[in-house]
Amino acid sequence: MSKDQALDNLWLARAMWELGAISFGDYTLGGSTANSPVFINPKVLISNPTALRVAAKLMYQEVTLAQSRLRSRVQPYDVVAGVPVGGLLLATAYALESSTPLIYPRVKPEGTGARGIEGRFSSGARALLIDDLVTGGTSISETAQFMAEHGVVVHDAVVLVDRDSGAAGRLKHQGIHLISILKLDVMMNLYRSSGLIDQEQHEHYLAYVRAMRPPAPQHDTSSYVETPLDNDDV
């Protein structure tokens, strides 16, 4: 792995393409009102140890950078946790890269294991939550709530791919700061400029983005009456 690879998120976006993480079709996403023409599967990164290592380095780099600012945007954390199941793969890589203890929220009973959190932690521990992909933010929100019920606090989350569908704003209202490594718009622009997708595929994606974007607020002027202004109206 070269130094450039460790610092280049566009290299990672291309590696994901080569691994088959990007598919085009007609896909229903949770919480969406329109089917997406693009499906992202970051889990395939586990098939390429170099790409998985780059992903972990990029996440750790972004978190460290955010913490180093005068007004830190990321709070200190005691453990790292992954959103089941894709986030657990990246959280494991992050834990190894950053030498941070890992815990695993088991939302559903599995075999002889009851619902709970695997790993050692103290009550009130602060966890950095990691996921592989975010659309509306529901999985991160629900996992953070589950962990809070078991004595673990989540203030910050890191996601590898952000579909930029409003998750950051929704999570912010719940007190969770979101860091994104790759934005889907950036990835699609890269694939188009590199000739990996054609113009029709790109335009289909852009049409989907326009359909999903909330309309700009409109001012109701129906009740306006043109009257002379006095000093109180200025």
Question: Please, what are the domains in the chain?
Answer: 3-211 (3.40.50.2020)
pLDDT at res. 52: 95
- Residue 68's identity, in one-letter code, is S
Residue 200, classed as helix, strand or coil, is helix
- pLDDT of 218 over the 60 cut: no
pLDDT-based confidence at residue 3 (cuts at 50, 70, 90): very low
pLDDT at res. 148: 96
- pLDDT of 185 over the 80 cut: yes
Query: Which tokens in the block code for residue 221?
Result: 């002027």
Compute the Cα dihedral for 46, 48, 49, 52 and give only its sign.
negative
Q: Tell me the CA distances in angstroms from 126 to 44, 101, 171, one per residue in order.
A: 29, 11, 17
pTM to 2 decimal places: 0.83
pLDDT-based confidence at residue 58 (cuts at 50, 70, 90): very high
- pLDDT of 54 over the 90 cut: yes
CB neighbourhood size of 153 (10 A): 16
d(CA 211, CA 209): 5
List, for residues 104-147, the tens digit of each pLDDT value. 998 887 766 778 999 999 999 999 999 999 988 999 999 999 99
d(CA 172, CA 155): 10
- pLDDT of 221 over the 50 cut: no
Chain length of the chain:
234
Query: Which tokens in the block code for residue 88?
Result: 């657990």
Q: Which are the contacts of 225, defined by CB distance < 8 A and separation ≥ 6?
A: none
- pLDDT of 48 over the 90 cut: yes
Query: Which tokens in the block code for residue 188?
Result: 């699609």
pLDDT at res. 107: 83
Q: Which are the contacts of 151, defined by CB distance < 8 A and separation ≥ 6?
A: 121, 123, 124, 125
pLDDT at res. 21: 96
- pLDDT of 29 over the 90 cut: no
pLDDT at res. 91: 97
Top-confidence range, 46-50, 162-166, 228-232: 46-50
pLDDT-based confidence at residue 7 (cuts at 50, 70, 90): low
d(CA 144, CA 139): 8
